[in-house]
Chain A
Amino acid sequence: MTELLTGAQVMCRVLLEQGVDVMFGYPGGAIMPFYHALPEYPELRHVLVRHEQAAAHAADGYARASGRPGVCVATSGPGATNLVTGLATAHMDSAPVVAITGQVPRNMIGRDAFQETDILGITQPITKHNVLVQDAELLADALRDAFAIALEGRPGPVLVDVPKDVQNQKIEYQAGGSRREQAGADGKRPAPDALREAARLIAEAERPLIMAGHGVQLAGAYDELRCLAERTGMPVITTLLGISGFPESHPLHLGMPGMHGEVHVNRAIQQADLIVGVGLRFDDRVTGNTAAFAPRAKIVHIELDPSEVGKNIPVAVALMGDCREILHRLLRLVQPRDCTAWRCEIAGLARVREEQYRGGLSPAGILTALNEVTEGRCTIVSDVGQHQMWVAKLFPYQRPNTHITSGGLGTMGFAVPAAMGVRLARPDEPVWAISGDGGFQMNMQEIATMVQEQIPVKMAIFNNGYLGMVRQWQQFFHGRRYSATPIWSPDYVKLATAYGVAGWRVEDAHQTRDTLRQAMAVPGPALVEFMIEQEANVFPMIPPGASLSEPIEGEPAPLVST
């Protein structure tokens, strides 16, 4: 049965077909027909953001928290270009996002019309796919394909650009599904020989490690990962995006590797004779200098995206496909063993660090208090910088996919808007957006969105008056020349008040628990500012380009003035 609908109505109908319940967007000239149709479909909730970048981050957060595509909408020109950072963020971290943009009418395309921009050309390198829909007859299938492509295989963002006159064009609409064949049905399975070889390497290794990345979360391979670790006794390292894929309290959990990984974690990598990489891409922040990375180790790489295998480091055995399925099949071949001697050796490499913080407000203290107050039941969305590393390393994540951050692109300003999406995907769970004073000021306008749309995100700011991570690099590598890193902040408590939101400032460790409790208790959004040590550093640190064997573990010697 067909119905005569406008292109805009077709867009709404396909969104409903795809099970979309919320989208994040901002109207404008070229997307007005869509916004005109939207009120006819009250099941489609629209969240009006304050900047399109936030719409893309919120859709990304929604996608990461739910596993379903997040949807963002913008008009042509500046609306579309404002999505760019959010799409690039989603692309680097494999988040399924569908972006819908208005475009100038077809007869105006290519004439530098008002608010015209080649968003297809602009977003080509930062989307998994994008399409300009030239005829409303193609619109429904283009959108259905967008959802299918965003989710299939390794997920990613897809942009659908719809000229204004196509949104107004009337066509016969017929409900249906995507024409694309189900991903994974293309017979991409590792050969039994490769699986047997991997099992043999695991059995024979003396110092084996598991490195688990984002792929574990994307495939939901938590049980399989744990099973492999427990059967073999192999210690588990979780990358920044792999964090919360394996319980932190588990005796086999080692921690985060790479630039800010603990010394014993990186030393373990350097001494390992086998690394089983599960759903990770051996990013440079993980490997340090690749030529010196894990010099003794053979690598077994379990990975969905064939283009990632052998891209950064050579691989002994490649097992390509969904990591849950591969781990499941591998488990049938892996014999029980233990790694007691190896684990003792690693434990012997661990170091204890003593650091002093103003008012006793240590990042560890704040995050421990947050864990206690939430009883471990919350999702943390972090921003980018020093606090991101503390949040990654110091919060004891126990439940899967409860740590969400911009890993690959390292997008400051991600946490606050992404947390809105996370919260809408997880309405029954407290969601904390943790930012530094720099990143918070990049998207703090979204407090207005939280208020208008009643999205109770709890916000924490680690305020040290600096762009802390850049300042740390300046201290270590640029002779302490703090160029453009001191950053002034407004009075955040007053800012919260101006938005009609509860706000607190914490200057002493003793206030932490009570304040966090109060913030949790208020029904709506809440903001807590922590005045932390100004020149606190994230230790240890592998200098950029150095090997994992060369960590910096303390402050550089102060400059001697002559």
Chain B
Amino acid sequence: MSSCQTLSVVLDHELVTFTRAVGVLRRRNFPIKSIAVGPSASPGLARLTIMMQTDPTTADRAARQLEKIVGVHQAAAFPMGDGVARELALVKVRAGQERYGELLDVALLYKATIVDESADAAILEVSGSEAFVVSFLRALERFEVLEVARSGAVVLERAAAGPTPHPLTPEAV
């Protein structure tokens, strides 16, 4: 059954390792929704977070393909519910004086911050679950949205849930 699955991958913080990982996902035709990468807790290692709209078996298959890459140290697949997912969005909105108050109301409702403003435009920053960010963007549709930059989700497995053993590792069989 298709649902939102997370792949959380710890790998060398090197461009060549990122391209290897992303290349495997592309050529094996995995249904990717978003990819986010940044430093992890360990120096020299990055965490790559991939969201997939698929079934748990396919997500697990992707994790096992990723684990084979030299430079990938860990790859785990888990349903979105087993992790805490957050993404960040920056939204540039045209906002003249006459509607500035209205914009502030929306920002307040979504706990968004105005991080830059000029005479007729502002940049808002919001973070939260994907649904929350999408809802915020909808709320901004009544203004003139000039540009959107979204980070893609970063996820950590819940402390109580993880790290779970691989469904097909020897211990689990």
Contacts and interface: CB of A to CB of B under 8 A. Distances in A.
A binds B: yes
Nearest to B27: A125
B173 A194 contact: yes
A321 B170 CA distance: 9
Interface in B17-67: 19-20, 23, 27, 57, 61, 64-65, 67
A320 B20 contact: no
A124 interface: yes
Interface residues of B, number: 18
A188 B168 contact: no
A129 B69 CA distance: 7
Contact of A191 (B16, B27, B173): B173
A190 B27 contact: no
Contacts of A135: none
Contacts of B166: 306
Contact of B168 (A124, A132, A318): A318
Contact of B19 (A124, A305, A311): A124
Nearest to A187: B170
Interface in A311-332: 311, 317-321
A478 interface: no
Nearest to B26: A125
Contacts of B68: 305, 307
Interface string A194-209: 1000000000000000
A286 interface: no
B141 interface: no
A253 B171 CA distance: 34
B170 A309 contact: no
Interface string B136-173: 00000000000000000000000000000010111101
A5 B55 CA distance: 54
Contacts of A517: none
Interface in A82-141: 120-121, 124-125, 128-129, 132
A132 B169 CA distance: 33
A191 B165 CA distance: 14
A194 B170 contact: yes
A310 B168 contact: yes
Given A124-B19, A129-B70, A307-B67, A193 B61 contact: no
A392 interface: no
A317 B172 CA distance: 11
A517 B68 CA distance: 48
* B16, B61, B166, B170 — most chain A CB neighbours (10 Å): B170
B27 A320 contact: no
A231 interface: no
Given A306-B64, A307-B65, A310-B61, A124 B170 contact: no
Contacts of B27: 125
B166 to A, nearest CB: 8
B167 to A, nearest CB: 9
A191 B23 contact: no
Contacts of A307: 61, 64-65, 67-68
A39 B166 CA distance: 51
A84 to B, nearest CB: 15
Interface in A150-196: 188-191, 193-194
B61 A320 contact: no
Given A149-B70, A306-B67, A311-B61, A320 B23 contact: no
A124 B20 contact: yes
B59 to A, nearest CB: 12
Contacts of B65: 307
Contacts of B23: 124-125
11 contacts: A124-B19, A125-B23, A149-B70, A190-B170, A306-B166, A306-B168, A307-B61, A307-B64, A307-B67, A307-B68, A320-B169
Given A125-B23, A189-B170, A307-B64, 16 more contacts: A121-B19, A124-B19, A124-B23, A128-B70, A132-B16, A190-B170, A191-B171, A191-B173, A193-B173, A194-B170, A306-B64, A306-B168, A307-B61, A307-B65, A317-B173, A318-B168
Ranked 3 nearest A-B pairs via Cβ: A307-B64, A129-B70, A194-B173
